[in-house]
Amino acid sequence: MTDAKIRTTSGNGRIFDSVLDTIGNTPTIRVNNLGPEGVNLFVKFEAFNPAGSVKDRLAVNIIEAAERSGALKPGQTVVEATSGNTGIGLALVCAQKGYPLVVTMAESFSTERRRLMRMMGAKVVLTPKVEKGFGMYRKAAELAEEHGWFLARQFETQANAEIHAATTAQEILGDFKGDRLDYFVTGYGTGGTVTGVSRVLRAESPDTKIILSEPANAQLVGSGIATERGKDSDPVSSHPAFEPHVIQGWTPDFIPAVLQETIDNSYFDELIPVAGPAGVEWAQKLASQEGILTGISGGATFAVAMQIAEQAAPGASVLCMLPDTGERYLSTPLFDDFPVEMTEEEAAISRSTPGYHIG
């Protein structure tokens, strides 16, 4: 027996008017078992958003900014290209607000994402794997033009970075109020998180070093090659440095305009590439040794955060962004090591008592 008291809770002190009001205020959590001795390692766990990812933030702001400006009319169909998390976030928002949603998505992304969006009322249009992210992007633009639908434009809209400056960055400042934050580590998909958070940290926490990461085999920023853009800052072709990678949600085959602000203004202090298998490995370790279930992108970010923590001075604090939940990756390499049927060890446990068992 121990003297530890039973955990208690007291509610949120409010009743939420809709699921949209539960977006944000995700927790910063200390890593207790994996981090190096003498360094404070934390994760900001975005799976606590209602649809399970950081993209809930941009989804609600894109829709509400469009409502405020009049760009989105009542009952108008919303269309967007996405690897899944933005689409799921938009499906949540559109279901609550009553907008039809059509998502375009490359057929290479995990099948559970399609089913989640369809369950929430969205239509999912698949584009050929060979056309990569640019193909699904182009299809969404074509559908918007053909049918007069509202194109969410997550890769270009100011509403993306703005919500991270207004919420994510403010939460980080609040969580570390009175404490040092030496490093902030993140990857990029649209670039909204790093751009919005960095705007604020550069001004309010200038000693915090911002570490950006991208896939080792798809180093678009690291290549130094710019993305060719059209009149609306939209990409006009696939980036030559892109190769397919397993870190879903990271690095489409073009540099998003939202991310370009970070590049142009030197918002990051160091760019560290990471291999896809490392993302899988560290996501699995976070789950099995910390009880934190994140996806491959979260594992990849954490792999970089571990590199930083191992080199950091004693007493340093490192914050790592975890964009989503691992449940979104059941059909990906993240779960390849975990069978559906009992292993021989599990069967032996079953046979260790005389009661009913299988095998």
Task: Single out the catalytic residue among 55, 132, 139, 209.
Answer: 55
Query: Can 73 be counted among the known catalytic residues?
Result: no
Which residues are bridge partners to 150 per DSSP?
78
Closest CA to 132 of 160, 109, 155: 109
Q: Which two tokens stand for residue 165?
A: 């400056």
Give the separation between CA 20 and CA 309, rounded to whole angstroms: 35
Beta-carbon contacts of 333 under 8 Å, excluding residues fewer than 6 positions away, are 246, 280, 296
Closest CA to 195 of 159, 231, 219, 246: 159
Query: Can 129 be counted among the known catalytic residues?
Result: no
* DSSP state at residue 167: I
CA angle 311, 264, 299 (to 5 degrees): 40
- Judged by DSSP in three states, 301 sits in helix
Other Cβ atoms within 10 Å of 210 Cβ, number: 20
> CA 157: distance to chain centroid?
17
* DSSP state at residue 164: I
- Judged by DSSP in three states, 101 sits in strand
Position of tokens 């249009």? 125
Give the separation between CA 221 and CA 21, rounded to whole angstroms: 35
Catalytic residue numbers read 55, 297
